Amino acid sequence: MLYQLAVNFCILFTFSVISYWPFQDRGRFRIPYPRLHPALIGLLGGVTGVFLLAASVRLDGGVVVDARVPVIVISGIFGGPAAPIISALIIGSVRIAYAGFAGPGLIAGLNAFLTGLTAAGFFAWKGSSFRNARLFFHFAVLETAIVLVALLPPGSDQFLNTAMFLAYSYLSYFTVVTILRELNSHFRKLAGIEKLSRTDFLTGLNNSRAFGEILETALQNGHRPVSLILFDIDRFKKVNDTYGHPAGDEVLAELARRTRRAVLPGSAVISRNGGEEFSVLLPGIDGEEAADAADRLRLAMAGNPFIVTGGQSIPITISLGVCSFPGQAADSKQLYSRADGALYAAKQSGRNCTVVWPPRQGPILKT
């Protein structure tokens, strides 16, 4: 008996990890087509229930004990209302067929259907979460225990066997859920660390590492234009020297906020490349539209002074360089270097202007 229960638990645990890890968008590997995830999790739960039935503990009168209730509940945690219905339909149908459509097997199968339908209604009402699932599990396992007492023949240690079922169900479910919650916590922490490694701590924008990865991805489709705007703050060293580095940090953070609020194409990807240099990557945007976007951004900075702690008003302007792929650049390295060359030309042209590569086109100045 203990061996069979141990096998049951191992099957339950394997199902729980497999239905959690690739479907919850936490790891590097994940199952595509998210809309199909509830059905896939429900199917996986149903197949797991069949394995649990094969490894179940047989009691008197054709009654079996396994971890089908935890499977149905866990499938609802990860798959939402649809998953427990699918799991319960498979588990209940196999249980009824296994018993020959009669006796305790028929009642147990119908009870599985009831559990799945009730779980679907509960998760649709309360939402799918570990916390809500705990409430439903209490109901489901106690209801199943009542059915078990009714099915066990007199003189077959009804209450002892029912107590064993309750103990095993609670132990297996809460052990697995505790482990899954720890996994969830670790995945969240890893996701946070991964985000920090790709995010500039001061502005919340992409950092240079993330910028490089996004740029390479954007250029993989060689038939679609990609434009790059590089810009930095004019005479930023003077801002730091005059008002102090804390004020300079406030200026950088406010510049990031204004860039986010600026009227840019919806595909814009904003990054802080380092120091006072920023970039706006525009997948699908040609050079002319990128130049217009760049100058709107320039005007958004020059139009209003930056107010820092203490009420000091700091006039800020930026210079911008624009280059486009594939028209003016053949690859990511050339796109960046030529946008940087256009930015340098904007500095040489007197600052507070936009230059499109090649620089001989002259600066764009709009008021």
The token duo for 161 is 């066997």
The continuous run of DSSP H or E covering 273 comes out as strand 269-274
CA-wise closest residue to 84 among 52, 55, 112, 64: 112
The token duo for 53 is 């039935």
276 labelled catalytic? yes
End-to-end CA distance of the chain: 84
Find out whether the peptide bond into 315 is cis, omega within 30 degrees of 0: no
Neighbours of 174 (CB within 10 A): 13
- Main-chain phi, psi angles of 12, to 5 degrees: -60, -45
Residue in 143, 194, 250, 276 annotated catalytic: 276
- Range 16-19 contact pairs with CB under 8 angstroms and sequence separation of 24 or more: 16/74, 16/176, 16/179, 16/180, 17/180, 17/183, 18/44, 19/44, 19/45, 19/74, 19/75, 19/78, 19/79
The token duo for 151 is 């099915």
| b/e code 62-79 from CB counts within 10 Å (16+ = b) | bbbbbbbbbbbbbbbbbb
Active site residues: 276
